[in-house]
Amino acid sequence: MGRTNMPDFATRWHTDNDEAGPTVNPWNPTRSPGGSSGGDAAAVAAGMTPLGLGTDFGGSLRIPAAFCGVASLRTTPGRVAVASSLSGAAPAPTNQLFTAPGPLARTVRDLTTAFEVLSDSADLRDPGWIPVRDVTDTARPAVAVTLDDDIDPQLRAALLGCADALERAGYPVTELEPPQLGEVAADYGRLVSTEVVVQRREAMRRVGSAGLNTFIDAAIDLFPPLDLAGYMTALGERLTRRAAWSHFLAEHPIVLGPVSDELPWPVGYDLGGTAQVATMYAAHRLTIAANYLALPAVTVPAGVSAEGLPIGVQLITAPFAERRALTAAAHIEVAFPMPTPISPATDPAPRAPARGQAPSSGAGTTR
């Protein structure tokens, strides 16, 4: 077992810190590997390990998986027992409500095996662990494909290709946006920003890296902290939004959409100020929704862009229906096989493979 790299305080969508330095995206060193589990995703993609393990509070598993061309599973909160051996204050309320652990792997089969092991063990230190039976579908569940207006054209094409693959496998597919995505993303930002200011901001200023504090300042500027009444109102409103999604998932049990509306960001993009952090939040709004709503999600690769960057999509489903999403992801995996493990690129030379095909290995691109 090994410990991989992550941003300090696990609080950026990029992996860098003053102690260990940055993690490089193995496909292109000028692009971010995502965060916070960027070290795990890069290690899995490069063949250093078959499995990674992380927790997903705001895309910390799914964004690195999508950016590095591997698969990941964010479980339902309560599905896997979680306990820390570290001393200190209990996590903030949103951390307890939104966070869930899960594995990263190169194949959906490996994800499934890891999920079986993780979900089968209780821990008395975690009173929130819920022993449940797996959801079994008697027919192919309906799929709602959501495509934001501002999504990268290559990601749009990949999502439509994934929808076609599911349709060929017998899934009823409709293009439809789930309810209240904008409101969910805004509520997530306001609640988390408030808790950061109350509980962690001073510690971040004292021991956090310059990059962390630049990102946090922009995020707080984007989502000013709420007062107590506003915090309580926003947290209470979550019930209404979850109910709306429960009705939606009853009709469309799988939501297929992007992990991010953009291909992997250039390194340093999240340090460009409030406007660029706002762009990142908007691009990740479906990913953030799964956290806010306490839903499981599987990320699966869906090919490679013209620039030689991996494309990842996600399948979100109802609580405790992880196997439903894993089964659907396996059909996408067959349609879009990925050439992992890869030899990490050492220069940003563009590669132009067809979607789902291995990139060329031009001279000087690997080590």
Measure Cα distances from 72 to 210, 314, 361 in Å. 29, 9, 26
Tokens of 113: 């095996």
- Please check whether residue 258 is in contact with residue 315, taking contact to mean a CB–CB distance below 8 angstroms: no
Residue 363 lies in a domain: no
Pairing of strands 254-258, 143-145: parallel
Residue 366 lies in a domain: no
Is residue 36 part of the annotated active site? The answer reads yes
Largest CA distance in the chain: 60
The contacts of residue 225 (CB under 8 Å, 6+ apart) are 190, 193, 194, 197, 198
The catalytic residue among 36, 72, 119, 260 is: 36
Q: What is the pLDDT of residue 350?
A: 60
Q: What is the pLDDT of residue 359?
A: 39
Residue 126 burial (10 A CB sphere; 0-12, 13-18, 19+): middle
Residue 361 lies in a domain: no
Tokens of 255: 């939501």
What domain range includes position 85?
8-335
Residue 364 lies in a domain: no
Residue 353 lies in a domain: no
Measure Cα distances from 51 to 107, 113, 134, 215 in Å. 10, 10, 22, 29
- Please check whether residue 120 is in contact with residue 112, taking contact to mean a CB–CB distance below 8 angstroms: no
Tell me how crowded residue 190 is: count the other CB atoms within 10 A of its CB: 19
Residue 359 lies in a domain: no
Residue 3 lies in a domain: no
Q: What is the pLDDT of residue 363?
A: 29
Q: Distance between CA 66 and CA 77 in Å, rounded?
A: 21
Peptide bond just before 341 cis, omega within 30 deg: yes
Residue 214 lies in a domain: yes
Measure Cα distances from 348 to 16, 25, 35, 206, 323 in Å. 19, 10, 20, 35, 37
> DSSP letters along 130-193, please?
---PPP--SSPPPEEE---TT--HHHHHHHHHHHHHHHHTT--EEE-PPTTHHHHHHHHHHHHH
Strand partners, 299: 72, 314
CATH number, position 61: 3.90.1300.10
Q: What is the pLDDT along the chain (367 residues), one digit of tens a residue?
A: 889 999 999 999 999 999 999 999 999 999 999 999 999 999 999 999 999 999 999 999 999 999 999 999 999 999 999 988 777 788 899 999 999 999 999 999 999 999 999 998 888 889 999 989 888 899 999 999 999 899 999 999 999 999 999 999 999 999 999 999 999 999 999 999 999 999 999 999 999 999 999 999 999 999 999 999 999 999 999 999 999 999 999 999 999 999 999 999 999 999 999 999 999 999 999 999 999 999 999 999 999 999 999 999 999 999 999 999 999 999 999 999 999 999 999 887 665 444 444 333 332 332 2
Which of 89, 53, 288 is CA-nearest to residue 193? 288
Tokens of 364: 């000087």
Taken in order 286, 290, 295, 296, is the CA torsion positive or negative?
positive
Q: What is the pLDDT of residue 364?
A: 30
Length of the chain equals 367
Q: What is the pLDDT of residue 89?
A: 80
Residue 322: how many CA atoms within 13 Å on its side-chain side? 29
The catalytic residue among 37, 60, 72, 260 is: 60
Pairing of strands 173-175, 143-145: parallel
> DSSP letters along 89-129, please?
PPPPHHHHHH-EEEEEESSHHHHHHHHHHHTT---TT-TT-
| Domain count across the chain | 1
